[in-house]
Chains A and B, each alone.
Chain A
Amino acid sequence: MFETTRIVLIENSRSLLSKIRESPILYLIFTGTILFSVFVFAYAFFFFVNIGINLDITLEDIFFTVFFLFLLKSGADIYNNFVKSSSLSYSLSTQVNQKKTIADIFIAVLLIELMIWFSFSLLFLLSLMIFGIDINYPVEYLYFTIGVISSVCLGTAISIFFFSPKRYRIIAPLIFLGFCFQLRQPLYVVLTLPLAIVHATWSIKNSMDSHLFSKRKERIKDKSNIKIRNPIKAFFHRETTVLYRDKLLFSFIFTSISTGLFSGYLFVNGDEILIPEAIRSQIGGFLPSMFMFLGIYVVVMYTSVFPALNLFLNEEKTMWILRHIPVRNENIIFGKVSSLSLCFITAIPFIPYIMIFTGVDKLVFLAFFLVFSYIAGIIVSLPLGVKYVGKKSDIMLLYSVSMILFVFLGIASVVVNLIESTFTYPIIIYVLIILLEIIVLYISIKISSQILSLKYKLNR
């Protein structure tokens, strides 16, 4: 019973343990970042409770945020452990019913998500307890836990059907999901858990289609733009070709546009939506700039941090190519980083779309802060990606990079606001800052190339 569940859990935990053993100090920092951020959230909660400000963030908002995050995480985990898994063919070829094997994987993913939920939530509750906030809400906690189970069921169904040849099947779980978000009632999600389980069961019943469909080899022909290039250009061309063929560039552009529109809307209406009228005039002023900041942060995470990290994390099975060719590590990194310039172009649509709401006078600030944040994203991500070259990214790494960048950009945005209010022509200061940042980027590339060399030499 549950052999596959056990194997998936062992595989995941051993992979994490081996990374921790390989870089204990870095993982200590990652753990510290996670603990710190949970503690900061608890403190923010304590702060708002104590000063009596009601930001109109309700339990429902938090419930659906948690629900959405676990929906994404479980969808990604099902994709990695089932839809795209190569090692699965062994267990699928045994006499055990294939649906049982896939159900085992679903249970493994459910256990992983529940473990993450319990660890984070208990840590958060412990922090609240330290601040003296009453945490005696067992029913609400039960609601949240059932919400996590429900989101894993729906995430599984959506992930499986998304990769199915009969993609229309995704409509049913999407309608159910739409109802969950439309009604905004945790109780609705709790009561409809059996329905979510039915969706998961239905998707598992039809899951082999998705596995086989995603494994099917399509003969795709392409004869464009083939020539001998210098090594840096060759790396640039390879990276950008893969980005283009994986259709990632289109998804980047879509994210930039939708984030621009969404944060622009909140820039204009955020005060009204989130802050009670009684105190709007006192504390409402900081929200518009916060939404601009958050918009840029999201775009940069998507178009700079993820591709920059994956430049080297993705070389899992192809490291032999980079290792045996006669090219300096520095050139490899320069070539790969240069491909991020194409990703930057996909971030630009954010500016015109947010300006529909903010007006043209914010153009200089937006352009500067987007460029600044984009380069900062590369500076932070590149050495970490190189450090874990050839290893799959894990949630701790992604979370830590996003937190480091959030803190850094948060401080930077305060400084930029100060510059805006102090200098008449801040554009000169902005140009100087960008030039300085380019020097730091160069140093980051140099350090990354040293890390790539040291990784090889230190084993001696």
Chain B
Amino acid sequence: MISVNNVTKTYGKIIALKNVSFKFDNSHVIAIMGENGAGKTTLLKLCTGILPFDSGEITVDGYNIINDSIKAREQIGYLPEMPYMYERLTGREFLYYIASLRKVTDAEDRIEEITKMLGINDFLDYEIGSYSKGMKQKISVTSAIMHNPKNLLLDEPVYGLDPLTSRAIQDFIRNKKGSTIIATHSSQLVEQIADIVYVLMRGKVIQTSDVKNLLSKYGSIEEAYFHIKDETNV
């Protein structure tokens, strides 16, 4: 469970998030939507401990992300929006490197299983620098889920992926235990796998709703998003 209490994050004079509070419970798939620059990626980076914040508190399964950062990070799997990796390592070397740092005991089996599911296993022995964007995304997804994290934070998880792999990832998320938080622009993805949707605008949460309720009220998440945006004067 990830808990975000009154967190404010600024980049110089720009306020990225202002007094944001969330509680991401277990057994939920939570989607964060919002326009470009709303603070979605920043929020995920704060939850993983990648970015520092100005005030507030973030805990992951009870561990403070600043004071107990190692314990907190052990509970997290993270897929960044732009999966930059070490280009001179092969895909397999990179995954074993992350597995070593995360102390994954059954790394070989897990890597085999996940890369097969994502259809990247035949390319694991080539340098990452030679991969296409989608292939890099698949390696990055594997590194995020191979240690079976209780909390999964995914930034645009299916962006750049072929339909088959996209479906495989959606199935994985649906069947996974623990909480999964997805930052995305894809209303289709939200409809298919999310239970709850948070709408962020200019660093503030303007709506928290059950996806089923939104679908019954507006017919689609896209329509719901536009209504929420119009109704809110931020």
> Footprint of B on A, CB under 8 Å?
217-223, 226-231, 233-234, 237-238, 241-242, 245-246, 317-321, 323-328, 456-460
Contact = CB atoms under 8 A, between A and B. Distances in A.
Nearest to A242: B88
A320 B130 CA distance: 21
Given A220-B130, A325-B98, A460 B53 contact: yes
Contacts of A229: 100
A353 B76 CA distance: 52
Contact of A320 (B70, B71, B80, B101): B80
A326 B125 contact: no
A326 B70 contact: yes
A460 to B, nearest CB: 6
Contact of B125 (A218, A221, A328): A221
Nearest to B10: A459
Contacts of B99: 228
24 contacts: A218-B127, A219-B126, A220-B126, A220-B127, A221-B125, A222-B90, A228-B104, A230-B100, A231-B101, A231-B103, A234-B100, A238-B97, A241-B88, A241-B89, A245-B127, A318-B85, A319-B50, A320-B80, A323-B50, A324-B78, A326-B73, A456-B52, A460-B52, A460-B54
A228 B100 contact: yes
Across chains A and B, which 3 residue pairs bring their CB atoms closest together, nearest first? A234-B100, A317-B84, A459-B52
Interface residues of B, number: 44
B20 interface: no
Contact of B102 (A317, A320, A325, A457): A325
B86 interface: yes
Given A321-B98, A323-B49, A228 B73 contact: no
Q: Main SS of chain A's interface residues?
A: loop
Contacts of A227: 96
Given A320-B80, A326-B74, A231 B100 contact: yes
Most A CB contacts (10 A, CB to CB) among B48, B51, B76, B90 go to B90
Nearest to B108: A228
Contacts of B102: 325-326
A453 B192 CA distance: 40
Contact of A328 (B70, B76, B85, B107): B70
Contact of B101 (A241, A242, A327): A327
Contact of A324 (B73, B90, B97, B130): B73
Contacts of B97: 234, 237-238
Contacts of B78: 320, 324
